[in-house]
Amino acid sequence: MNKYLLIVVVLLAIIVASIDAKKERKQRKSQLNTDEIAVKSATDTAAANEVVKQDQCLKLKCDAGKECVIDTESGKAKCQCISTCADNTDVRRRVCSNHNTTWQSDCHLYKHRCDCIEGQKSSDCDDKHKHMHIDYYGECQELPECRKEVLEDFPRRMREWLDHIISKKVETSGTGDDGSDHSKKWIDAIIWKFCDLDKQPHDRQVSRHELFPLRAPLLSMESCISDFLNGCDPNDDHKITLVEWGECLGATDAEMVDKCNKFHSIKEN
Ligand SMILES: [Ca+2]
């Protein structure tokens, strides 16, 4: 009798253990499902946030050194200082500031300026950093002095360079020969460049700020670019008109016809 009782007890123990193990497996599976749902939900939320961000940020233009983010409280897009700039080891992407300091890239320079303005980085900041901008591309270096004969020849070289660029553009766009006087093609080229620089705002005047895309890439290679551009603003009001631009490149007032609407429409096509 005792022997049968022992067998029954052992069997009962096995059954109870099996039920417990089954329960545990069920609980573990349920927990796993809950975790998976939580992860999926978090992923979906992140993806949805990214879509919202992309959508809202398309409409928001941030200044240099800033990036668009979604404000966690309002849910709206806003500009804030760039959080991180990618490390740059390419010396060609380095920039020299107007304070003669070399920065890893334009991103690093403008991020630092933004951090200083926003007070996010008290160390390494002084007032001049709040107004820092790129003077030219490449590492800072001792720039060669502008020689008189190079400056005198500069307008001719600039005309030829612009003429070459616009000829390439016409070739690429397929607009072909419009029957205009070829000997005066350089006039169209310099008018085109003026319209191209006059962007922010489109007010038929080129400010010092608008000259930046022309000046910065050339400064380390062309010793006379600054003197040349200064000469295009004889009344020193920091704005170059179409006629002033023409005069400094050797065109007469009458030749400087405003064709910006035409050139802008070519660009947009
Ligand atoms: Ca302008």
pLDDT band for 269, please (50, 70, 90 cuts).
very low
Dig out the tokens for 104 from the structure.
């890893």
CA of 179 to the centre of ligand 1 (A): 30
CA of 192 to the centre of ligand 1 (A): 14
CA of 202 to the centre of ligand 1 (A): 5
What angle, 0 to 180 degrees and rounded to 10, lies between the N-to-C axes of helices 185-197 and 242-249? 130
Q: Does 92 have pLDDT greater than 70?
A: yes
Whether pTM > 0.95 for this model: the answer is: no
Q: Does 159 have pLDDT greater than 70?
A: yes
Cβ(158)–Cβ(249) under 8 Å? yes
Q: Does 169 have pLDDT greater than 80?
A: no
Lowest mean pLDDT among 50-54, 135-139, 208-212, 237-241: 50-54
Q: How many CB atoms lie within 10 A of CB 107?
A: 19
Cβ(202)–Cβ(263) under 8 Å? no
CA of 246 to the centre of ligand 1 (A): 16
Tell me the three state secondary structure of residue 136.
strand
CA of 197 to the centre of ligand 1 (A): 7
CA of 134 to the centre of ligand 1 (A): 19
pLDDT band for 173, please (50, 70, 90 cuts).
low
Dig out the tokens for 141 from the structure.
């270096």
Q: Does 1 have pLDDT greater than 80?
A: no
Q: Does 267 have pLDDT greater than 70?
A: no
CA of 228 to the centre of ligand 1 (A): 19
Tell me the percentage of the chain whose pLDDT exceeds 90: 52
CA of 61 to the centre of ligand 1 (A): 19
Q: Residue 79's pLDDT is what?
A: 95
pLDDT band for 97, please (50, 70, 90 cuts).
very high
Backbone angles phi, psi at 245, to 5 degrees: -60, -45
Tell whether omega for the bond before 201 is within 30 degrees of 0, i.e. cis: yes
CA of 2 to the centre of ligand 1 (A): 106
CA of 89 to the centre of ligand 1 (A): 35
Lowest mean pLDDT among 32-41, 144-153, 229-238, 257-266: 32-41
CA of 65 to the centre of ligand 1 (A): 22
CA of 215 to the centre of ligand 1 (A): 15
CA of 209 to the centre of ligand 1 (A): 9
CA of 107 to the centre of ligand 1 (A): 25
Sort residue 119 into left (φ over 0), alpha (ψ -120 to 50) or beta: left
Q: What's the whole-number average pLDDT of the chain?
A: 84
CA dihedral defined by 76, 110, 64, 55, rounded to 10 degrees? -40
Backbone angles phi, psi at 134, to 5 degrees: -75, 130
Dig out the tokens for 133 from the structure.
């901008």
CA of 206 to the centre of ligand 1 (A): 4
CA of 194 to the centre of ligand 1 (A): 9
Report d(CA 212, CA 200) in Å as an integer. 12
